[in-house]
Amino acid sequence: MKIPLRLLLVEDSEVDAELLEHQLREGGYDPTIQRVETAEAMQAALAGGNWDIVIADYSMPRFSATAALRVLQETGMDLPFIICSGNIGEETAVEAMRAGAHDYVMKNNLARLLPAIERELREAEGRRRRKQAEEELLESEKRFRSIFQNAVAGMVVLTVDGRFLQVNPAFCQMVNYSDAELLQMETFAIVHPADQDLTRRLFDEAKAGWRNDADFEKRFIRKDGEIVWAHVAMAWLRDELNQSMYVVGLVSNITPHHRARQEIRQMAHFDSLTGLPNRQLFLDRCNEILTRARREDRQVAVFVVDLDRFKGINDTYGYSSGDQLLKAVSERLRGCVSRENALARLGSDEFALAVSGVESQEGFSILAQKIQNMLIEPVEIEKQPVYCSAGIGIALFPGDGTNVVSLLTNAGVALHQAKEQGANSYRFFSKGMNLVARERLTLEAGLRQAMERQELSVFYQPQIDLASGEVVAVEALLRWNSAEHGSVPPVRFIPLAEQSGLIIPIGDWALETACRQAREWHQAGYSSLRMAVNMSARQLKQADFVDRLDRALLKSGMDPTLLELEMTESIVMERSDETLMALTDLKSRGIKLAVDDFGTGYSMLSYLKHFPIDRLKIDRSFVSDLATPDSDDAAITEAIIAMAHSLRIKVLAEGVETREQLDFLNARRCEEGQGFLFARPLSASDSGVYLKKASHPEQAKHPA
């Protein structure tokens, strides 16, 4: 379910506004956006709307982000204000943040936009809660004054040496002693040890004639051992010779008041779930570390740590288990830093460390590996082990930045690169990373135009019945021949399509193309030929996925029983009700279901019994080593085939390239194979030629 977001956008470029809206929608938001270009328009929008956040371009012909910030500040509204610019410099950005902006994001690095929005919305909510707590505190103080004026507060009369002469019931109740007990005691007997010196000094000063009254806070220890914070107002009464006769004290229990102050401080500077410092306190502490490092000419490393697949853990085990995991991770990270360093939780599953006292980059690498090794140890939640890992980005002071903001930004860029390497990776920032990020944005922009320019095509790779040698299916494979970038391999553009959401329209087009081609081949005489099409998790999670699939089948006239949809293990592992319902819906139409690249993910066959799976595709990384004696991959492949058969699931081996591999698979009764031994991926026309040759009797057997 998308998150509603009311956005006031200060922007003069409609194209940039559309890109921003797309980024927000892909990030899970349902934005309501009003775009303004002048101070007057912004003032009217602020007066007439209830906004969650303001995002402003830094420089426009008639307006600027700094002017927009002043307009917002003049209203007194406490809204997150983010600058999104393509040309703002670091010093300018720092000045803008000093003026009151909450963050800035470069237009060529919009990957930072969603985390920045999430963080600022969360911090704005924290400020709202702190304001509410402060208002409650003020209300508490009003109540305290009313109670004091009505003599509900404790009242005591003491000798000049501090012995109790008289106490009222309110004070007795406060300290949990009877009046008889107190009248046998000195006040010092129930004062907290940390406040003893102050109390004795005040009595000594009054006895010496230097003081007539005192107004202060101190702690009492109740008879049951509990600590009570009290506000004490004392007056020493004197005789005509100015000699102290006795002391009158008004004592009010301010324990709730004190706790409220502590809660406000906690909310302002600490994360409520983990107890770690929040972003603001981290910035303050990191500034202190950098100041010390400049003075001592030492390096500082800023680490940004982001858990891998944390959303999957929340979806699989529930948010309560996710919270428990975050607490466990926080405790482990505490063990990695000393008191001189800083640790904070920046966001949902993102943490930051500022580390000094390490002499070399190698030392920081060792620390990164230590963190990763600690995190991969299982966490027991509800009597079962939960595993996690983390990506880490590292930026070094002073080479990668001279202030906290730039170091965090560059560590975030390095983190993104680490995430692209795969789970449990870490990377140090390098200046080339910004170039890589720009190249990625350029590639994404090209991919958005690829369908319009007809640069995408579908190739087909035959799948062979290993027992008969017949072609029983073809797999549809996407190819992109870009006018700007040349031939772009799927390993580059498919993940980009997944991340950007372009996989939805591209996947629909590929499915329609494959179904139409399959129908042509069926009409040409290959009536039982299956068409295998890859299905991404993002496609399956679309509410209307099954409806769109029905339209593709209806439009092409293809028999649904000859369509096979391939999905990854991660889809099966989710085991969500929505996934099961969608797959069951597909099976009810006669569509076949296959698990692709089996063996590279969780590889838990026990999960497959919960889903209507027809076929497992063993990943090529296992098949490549089948002919090697005593190969672990051979043993794993043999086990997968045997266990799949026990579940009445057929098996297809990917990446079959040699006769030895084929013989191994035939000996284990693997039903089907796919790979260069039979054919490479072919265009539609070349596939037609291949099918024609393969159907000829003397061409029906495997090639030599």
415-434 residue pLDDT tens: 988 887 878 889 998 876 65
Question: Would you say 629 and 608 are in contact if contact means Cβ atoms under 8 Å apart?
Answer: no
Run of H or E including 479: strand 471-482
Residue 633 pLDDT > 90, yes or no? no
Residues 6 or more apart whose CB falls under 8 angstroms from that of 197 comprise: none
What is the reported pLDDT for 151? 58
* DSSP one-letter code for 193: G
Helices (runs of H) and strands (runs of E) counted in the chain: 26, 26
* Mean pLDDT taken over the chain: 85
* DSSP one-letter code for 230: E
Residue type at position 485: H
Q: Give pTM, 2 decimals.
A: 0.47
Kindly state the average pLDDT of the residues 598-604: 58
Q: Hunting for tokens 């090794």 — which residue is that?
A: 373
Question: Would you say 351 and 329 are in contact if contact means Cβ atoms under 8 Å apart?
Answer: yes
What is the reported pLDDT for 607? 64
Kindly state the average pLDDT of the residues 464-476: 94
Kindly state the average pLDDT of the residues 612-641: 84
pLDDT band at residue 605, thresholds of 50, 70 and 90?
Answer: low
What is the reported pLDDT for 320? 85
Q: What is the pLDDT of residues 37-77, one digit of tens each?
A: 898 988 999 998 889 999 988 878 888 888 888 998 898 88
Angle between helices 545-556 and 503-523 (to 10 degrees): 30
- Looking at per-residue confidence, does 113 or 151 come out higher? 113
Q: Which of 400-404, 508-512, 699-703 has the highest mean pLDDT?
A: 508-512
Question: Would you say 673 and 615 are in contact if contact means Cβ atoms under 8 Å apart?
Answer: no
DSSP string covering 273-335, please?
TT--B-HHHHHHHHHHHHHHHHHHT--EEEEEEEETTHHHHHHHH-HHHHHHHHHHHHHHHHT
Q: What is the pLDDT of residues 654-694, one digit of tens each?
A: 999 999 999 999 999 999 999 999 999 999 999 999 999 98
Rounded-to-integer distance, Cα 135 and Cα 129, Å: 10
Q: Which range is least confidently modeled, 46-50, 148-152, 291-295, 316-320?
A: 148-152
What is the reported pLDDT for 464? 94
Rounded-to-integer distance, Cα 434 and Cα 437, Å: 5
Residue 701 pLDDT > 60, yes or no? no
Q: Hunting for tokens 């002071």 — which residue is that?
A: 397
Kindly state the average pLDDT of the residues 291-320: 86
Calculate what percentage of the chain has a pLDDT beyond 70.
92
Q: Hunting for tokens 């910030």 — which residue is that?
A: 69
Instruction: Kindly give the pairing relationship between strand 81-85 and strand 379-381.
Output: unpaired
Question: Would you say 80 and 123 are in contact if contact means Cβ atoms under 8 Å apart?
Answer: yes
Report the half-sphere exposure of 553 (CA within 13 A, side-chain side): 19
Residue of 100, 380, 126 lying closest to 265 (CA atoms):
126
What domains sit in the chain, N to C, each tagged with a CATH number? 3-112 (3.40.50.2300), 151-259 (3.30.450.20), 271-430 (3.30.70.270), 459-478+501-697 (3.20.20.450)
Count CB neighbours of 288 within 10 A.
Answer: 12
Residues 6 or more apart whose CB falls under 8 angstroms from that of 122 comprise: 347
Residue of 399, 384, 352 lying closest to 371 (CA atoms):
352
How many Å separate Cα 492 from the centre of its chain? 23
Residue 591 pLDDT > 90, yes or no? yes
Residue 703 pLDDT > 60, yes or no? no
Instruction: Kindly give the pairing relationship between strand 154-158 and strand 164-167.
Output: antiparallel
Kindly state the average pLDDT of the residues 544-554: 90
Residue 437 pLDDT > 70, yes or no? no
N-terminal to C-terminal alpha carbon distance within the chain:
54
Q: What is the pLDDT of residues 171-182, one digit of tens each?
A: 999 999 998 999
What is the reported pLDDT for 627? 73
Rounded-to-integer distance, Cα 119 and Cα 150, Å: 46
